[in-house]
A and B are shown apart, each in its own frame.
Chain A
């Protein structure tokens, strides 16, 4: 077990390092002229500067060093929690992140809870119902759920619940009420995924022989579904929660922009608009870290939820 643990954590760290390196490569090596992007991000024109000034700026941003030296400087900094200075806001990136992170965490946390409730509830209902037309309609609902763009859903909810009914504030990041609409918007695509997977896995479970046994014991349909069906059908959801973290982070960028909330996602949008390279690098790495961490947790929790799975060495 401990050997498995060490291996799994090592693998997670390796993936994280790879994600950082790829993002570094994209942001620092892909552009033809990183310096001019950085200069324009901090509000200067590269053309208007003299040669000495350009050299000075190059040294200031650390672009005059060798490729590997630059990379390792940044990597070591990131490991120590220092992501450098934001070009456009002139503040340490780590401070910016720390300031914005609670907003996004509460939004994402609520969205994950809501998506689980909605997705599992919908699939549970679909499996329980026996009136075919309604059952079929409910089974089609998830694929509508992930066909709807997050930003359009957000606008629709604002139109109906903020402007039409006046129940919730349309924008802003103060108070719990302002969290409701963004969280629902963010929850819908993930809920659709959970519902679709759970619906399919219920279909499979109903054919199992232990369901027949449970009926034979004299349990009612509701009891069979709750005690025997659901527990077995719900296992794939656990893996999906880990995978959906990425979608939630992606969605947060859009949702926070629509609802004008000051979180990490909004920061990402602004940073890309100003081509603020260090901020983008930091945000991408932090969200990759969140993804890797949650998936690691899910993997480690699996044997606890499903005792049939043990971490014995397996042939791959």
Chain B
């Protein structure tokens, strides 16, 4: 991507003699990212994810159609050069609907993972840090949550707090809290006993400072991988719930609702449900691929 800049940067660095300096954060990030970007699979996956993020923030940039404009003349057209994904039963451009739908889907996935991160990190740090009885109680609670199948727990929560994009996101988020809590606890327990934590404590740092500056940054890696993985899982779960009919009310479109709507035209117009689904698969697969690549490089 920025090969030229990178090469230039290296030259200027080697050209300037003098003291060794610690590399800046940006340099360290580019140094780890560049070899990854040279892998075609990783760049492609990143491109798909960036595309869906851009679609979520500024859908107007990616499509010139109006997602709600119906034109009965063009209904159920097969994919062609004007309508890339074809049109649905009301003649709306499906590609545009998918692009505009990503704002709801990506937003709810962010909300779900945010809840899971907050709750999971909180519970995990508390139980890994406090130990003893607190740890035992929290972990039993997590065990119980793990025994409830994810989708059914989400269904119960949706029954209680109602339908819609935000309730579904909350329900999915609560469903993935236990996994985060476990991973965070395991990492905190691992890092807590390392020499540099003792050194920091002996150096006079308070527990809060030790936690924020020494333990969290080092326990963060596996949790970040899990967050990327669960971002994909959250997209799948919210899509599943909105497929079942508990998501956004029409005419707003989430990816799951788009697939669900297309079901009725499966014989005559299979693309109406299959193409939005293919896009969803591409996004989730890319997220999984990115998470796996990070996991491999961390080892």
A31 to B161, CA, bound (A): 6
Indicate if the CB atoms of A155 and B263 lie closer than 8 Å.
yes
Most chain A CB neighbours (cut-off 10 Å) among B160, B245, B292: B160
Q: How far is the CA of A158 from the CA of B149 in the complex (A)?
A: 26
A15 touches B147 (CB 8 A): yes
A88 within 8 A of B: no
Please name the residue on chain A nearest to B280 by beta carbon: A149
| A residues near B147, Cβ cutoff 8 Å | 15-16, 18-19, 246, 288, 291-292, 295
Where chain B touches its partner, the secondary structure class is: helix
The answer to whether A249 and B152 touch across the interface, beta carbons within 8 angstroms, is: yes
Instruction: Judge whether A155 and B277 touch: CB under 8 Å.
Output: yes
Which residues between 142 and 170 of chain A lie within 8 Å of chain B, taking CB atoms? 143-144, 146-152, 155-156, 158-159, 163
A-side interface size class? 35 or more
Does A42 lie at the interface of the complex (its beta carbon under 8 Å from any beta carbon of B)? no
A291 with B159, Cβ < 8 A, contacts A159-B266, A269-B244 known: no
Cβ B274 vs Cβ A155 within 8 A: yes
Total interface residues on B, CB under 8 Å, equals 48
Which B residues are in CB contact (< 8 Å) with A271? 159
Provide the bound-state CA to CA distance between A51 and B8, in Å: 80
Residues on A with C-beta less than 8 A from B262 are: 155
Question: Chain B contacts of A309 at CB under 8 A?
Answer: none
The answer to whether A26 has its CB under 8 Å from any CB of chain B is yes
Q: Is A250 a contact partner of B288 (Cβ separation < 8 A)?
A: no
Q: How far is the CA of A64 from the CA of B260 in the complex (A)?
A: 40
Task: Check B277–A149 contact: CB distance below 8 A.
Answer: yes
Tell whether A239 is near chain B: CB-to-CB under 8 Å.
Answer: no
Nearest A residue to B240 by beta-carbon distance?
A254
CB-CB contacts below 8 Å: A102-144 with B: 143-144
Residues in B whose Cβ lies below 8 Å from that of A283: 152
Q: Which residue of B lies closest to A41 (CB)?
A: B159
* The one of A14, A151, A152, A247 that contacts B149, using a Cβ cutoff of 8 Å: A247
A→B interface (CB under 8 Å)? 14-16, 18-19, 22-23, 26-27, 30-31, 143-144, 146-152, 155-156, 158-159, 163, 245-247, 249-251, 253-254, 257-258, 268-269, 271-273, 275, 277, 280-281, 283-284, 287-288, 291-292, 295
Identify 7 residue pairs between A and B in the complex whose beta-carbon atoms are under 8 Å apart, listed by A's number: A26-B157, A149-B259, A151-B239, A156-B274, A246-B146, A257-B243, A288-B148
